[in-house]
Amino acid sequence: MKRSWLMGWLFFLTGLLSAQTPQEVVLSASAGSRLGIAVPAPAESGVAPESVQRELHQTLLRDLEESGPFAVIRDRSFKNEDLKAWMEAGADWVVNLKVQREAGDDLEVNVQVQDAKSAKAVFTKRYLGKEGALRRIAHAIADDLVARLTGEKGVSGSRIVFVRQLSPLVKEIFQMDRDGSNLSQITRHQTLTLSPTVAKDGRLAYVTYRNGDPEIWGQRRPGGSFEKLFPTKTGPQGPCTAPAWSPDGRKLLFAQGDRRGNADLLLLDLETGRFRRLTDGTSINTEATWNPAGTQIAFTSDRSGSPQIYLMEEDGSNVRRLTQEGFYNASASWSPTGAMIAYVSRFEGKFDLFVYKLGEGKSYQVTTGVTSNESPDWAPDERRLVFSSGSLGGMSIYTTDLSGNTVRRVTEFAGCQSPKWTRAR
Indicate whether 117 and 199 sit together in one domain: no
CB 313 within 8 A of CB 334: no
Hey, which residues does 390 pair with through a beta bridge? 372
Hey, which residues does 78 pair with through a beta bridge? none
Core vs surface per residue 334-353: b (16+ CB within 10 A) or e = bbeeebbbbbbbbbeebbbb
pLDDT of the chain, 425 residues: tens digit per residue: 343 344 344 433 333 333 333 333 333 333 457 899 999 999 999 899 999 999 999 999 999 998 889 999 987 777 777 899 999 999 999 999 999 987 777 899 999 999 999 999 999 999 999 878 999 999 999 999 999 999 999 999 999 999 999 999 999 999 999 999 999 999 999 999 999 999 999 999 999 999 999 999 999 999 999 999 999 888 788 999 999 999 999 999 999 998 888 999 999 999 999 999 999 989 999 999 999 999 999 999 999 999 999 999 999 999 999 999 989 999 999 999 999 999 999 877 788 999 999 999 999 999 987 788 999 999 999 999 999 999 766 899 999 999 999 899 999 999 999 999 999 88
Residues, the chain: 425
Q: In what order do the strands lie in the sheet with 408-409?
A: 372-378, 384-390, 396-401, 408-409
Rounded CA separation 138/44 (Å): 15
* pLDDT for the residue 392: 64
Report DSSP state, residue 57: I
Indicate whether 311 and 410 sit together in one domain: yes
Indicate whether 93 and 206 sit together in one domain: no
CB 307 within 8 A of CB 328: yes
* Domain-ending residue, one of 86, 119, 150: 150
* Domain-ending residue, one of 103, 132, 150: 150
Indicate whether 44 and 10 sit together in one domain: no
Residue-number span of the structural domain to which 139 is assigned: 34-150
Indicate whether 362 and 239 sit together in one domain: yes
* pLDDT for the residue 21: 34
Nearest to 251 by CA among 288, 299, 304: 288
* Domain-ending residue, one of 131, 150, 169: 150
Indicate whether 183 and 290 sit together in one domain: yes
Angle formed by the axes of helices 59-67 and 134-150, to 10°? 30
Hey, which residues does 130 pair with through a beta bridge? none
* pLDDT for the residue 155: 95
Q: What CATH number has the domain bearing residue 92?
A: 3.40.50.10070
Q: What CATH number has the domain bearing residue 6?
A: 2.120.10.30
Rounded CA separation 246/161 (Å): 18
pTM comes to 0.88
Indicate whether 280 and 372 sit together in one domain: yes
Q: How many domains does the chain contain in total?
A: 2
Indicate whether 40 and 112 sit together in one domain: yes
Indicate whether 131 and 201 sit together in one domain: no
Indicate whether 262 and 306 sit together in one domain: yes
Indicate whether 24 and 55 sit together in one domain: no
Indicate whether 288 and 318 sit together in one domain: yes
